[in-house]
Amino acid sequence: MPRHAWLRRVAPLVLLLAAWLWPWLARAAAEPIVRVEVDARQPVLVGQQVGIDVTILAPNYFLSAPAFPALQVPGAVVTLPDARALNSTETIDGVVYAGIRKTYAFTAEQDGEFRLPAATIRFTYAGDDGTPREGSVTLPVITIRAGAGGPGTAPARATAGRPLLPVARLTVTQALDHEVGHGVVRLRAGDALVRTVTTFAPQTQAMMIVPPHAAAPRGVRMFRADPRLSDDAGAAAAPGGTRVDTLTYVFERPGTYTLPAVTADWVDPATRQPASSEAPAVKVEVAAARNGGALSPGGRSAGALPGEGGLPGRTLLWAAGALLGAAALALLWRRLRPRLARLQQRRAERRRARAEGAEARLAATLRACRAGDAAAASQALGGWTRAAHGTTPAAWAEAAGDAALADAVTGLQRHLYGAAPAPSAWDGNPLAQALGRHARPTPPRRRQARPALPPLNP
């Protein structure tokens, strides 16, 4: 047989065999992949919050969620908001990958170039035979350039006397605890007015919102409570951060007052110029107190004797006693306040430890299983196995030696990250029953009661 004729007959068989083996070889050589994308055009503005999308792709499906680390970048603030990770599937060169994406929030505090650290992210994924495999990816070095903007632009960087301004169009609203009639709030001397100012920054974390400017007119005392910060968008059309400031004004004397407008500074992302938003001023009319004759300047006291313009001796003694009692209470509160704060902090830490403990996470896992919430069950189960056993759900199930438990854990991961389209409903009862057999909480040990009387014959 001629040599060329033999090659012509063998070549199709070789090509067919290679085509048949190629998917298997591709899956065998498949490794996890990481992608990093900066969701902004560079250079970014100083003070502008930028999203950094980190996507991790693993062959087959994940058996544990990747542990995204905290990133430290000098001269910038990088946080990982508590938003749920986005899951996806993707086919690359014939291999089906499961993807998990989370977004870091990056904000430059000064001009310059910033490099993200090459952090390593570890996780567990399923091999072709379903056995757990340890995987890891290293973030590539990404450079972000930040500048203050074009010519004539006021810098947004923080200075000794000026905080870093957010690059977002702020919205400021206010609410009062008293009714406004014909544009005026009517009070009496000694009353207090609570003014709640809410500042919303789109696409920006609440921690980046600077405290709004607020002042009180002469003769009015103002008290500012600690702000409340929230990054939960809730029902808002666009995500963002919310800062709530509570201002309390105390009016001691009758008169007409105007509380100045409350303003919040920011940098316009379109024009790159400084701007401000405000809650309008409030007009207040304060009448004399119902018993105001006793305290009004130059007025006759309610308990004065006829023909006398001053306070009687008994009233003076009562006023002096009240002042001394108030001073004693203020001194006592000043001494007890730090102790109460430390006590509240310890209580909060104990509640947080109980909420984050193994038993609480196990209870959350069982609730999610009974409710059929696969995503919540996977997250709670991973937290419980790490807290109680220091390992992943798949590794713990395999070590338990229970086939039903291993099948339930694998079925949960396959439902979330499997290549094939998952059914709309997930039955968590098998996993809950398996957890009930292996994850029963141990009851607290009781102290052995001592006998009331000593033994008769020691």
Point out the domain boundary residue: 86, 113, 147. Answer: 147
Q: Yes or no: say if 52 and 106 are a contact pair by the CB < 8 Å rule.
A: yes
Closest CA to 376 of 181, 84, 115, 171: 84
- Cα 369 from Cα 128, distance rounded (Å): 27
| Single-letter amino acid, residue 281 | A
| Residue 66's CATH number | 2.60.40
377 and 264 in a single domain? The answer is: no
203 and 238 in a single domain? The answer is: yes
56 and 92 in a single domain? The answer is: yes
63 and 183 in a single domain? The answer is: no
| pLDDT at residue 12, as a whole number | 62
Q: Yes or no: say if 156 and 110 are a contact pair by the CB < 8 Å rule.
A: no
142 and 169 in a single domain? The answer is: no
- Going residue by residue through the chain (458 aa), what tens digit of pLDDT does each one get? 555 565 566 556 655 655 554 454 445 558 899 999 998 888 888 888 888 999 999 998 898 889 898 888 898 889 888 777 888 888 888 888 999 999 999 998 888 999 988 889 999 998 887 789 899 999 998 899 987 654 444 445 544 445 778 888 899 999 999 998 888 999 988 889 999 999 999 888 888 898 999 999 998 999 999 999 988 654 445 678 899 999 999 998 999 999 999 999 988 888 888 899 999 999 999 998 876 543 444 444 333 334 444 444 455 566 667 777 777 887 787 777 777 777 877 777 776 666 567 788 888 889 889 888 888 888 888 888 887 877 888 888 888 888 888 888 888 888 877 755 556 788 888 889 888 887 755 444 454 445 555 555 55
Containing domain of residue 249, as a range? Answer: 165-294
- Is residue 216, in this structure, part of any structural domain at all? yes
- Is residue 64, in this structure, part of any structural domain at all? yes
Point out the domain boundary residue: 294, 310, 340. Answer: 294
| pLDDT at residue 404, as a whole number | 87
Cα–Cα distances in angstroms (integers) from residue 103 to residues 40, 69, 95, 236, in the given order: 13, 12, 25, 20
Domains contained in the chain, number: 3
For the chain, the straight-line distance linking the first and the last C-alpha, in angstroms and rounded, comes to 109
- Cα 91 from Cα 81, distance rounded (Å): 29
| pLDDT at residue 235, as a whole number | 45
- Is residue 89, in this structure, part of any structural domain at all? yes
137 and 206 in a single domain? The answer is: no
- Structure-token pair, residue 71: 């990133």
Torsion of CA 372, 378, 382, 387, to 10 degrees: -30
Per DSSP (E only), the strands in 253-371 are 255-259, 262-267, 274-279, 282-287
- Cα 80 from Cα 70, distance rounded (Å): 7
- Is residue 178, in this structure, part of any structural domain at all? yes
108 and 175 in a single domain? The answer is: no
What b-and-e string marks burial along 135-160, b requiring 16 or more CB atoms within 10 Å of the CB? Answer: bebebeebebebbbbeeebebbbeee
| pLDDT at residue 445, as a whole number | 46
238 and 275 in a single domain? The answer is: yes
User: What count of other Cβ atoms lies within 10 Å of the Cβ of residue 244?
Assistant: 16
| pLDDT at residue 248, as a whole number | 93
Closest CA to 284 of 393, 194, 151: 194
189 and 92 in a single domain? The answer is: no
Closest CA to 172 of 246, 234, 262: 262
- Is residue 397, in this structure, part of any structural domain at all? yes
- Is residue 322, in this structure, part of any structural domain at all? no
- Is residue 351, in this structure, part of any structural domain at all? no
169 and 275 in a single domain? The answer is: yes
Cα–Cα distances in angstroms (integers) from residue 298 to residues 253, 256, 310, 311, 424, in the given order: 13, 19, 9, 11, 79
113 and 170 in a single domain? The answer is: no
Q: Yes or no: say if 263 and 276 are a contact pair by the CB < 8 Å rule.
A: yes
| Residue 208's CATH number | 2.60.40.740
Q: Which residue has the tokens 């980190």?
A: 54
- Cα 192 from Cα 247, distance rounded (Å): 10
| Rounded (5°) CA angle 437-438-439 | 105
Q: Yes or no: say if 301 and 316 are a contact pair by the CB < 8 Å rule.
A: no
32 and 139 in a single domain? The answer is: yes
- Is residue 451, in this structure, part of any structural domain at all? no
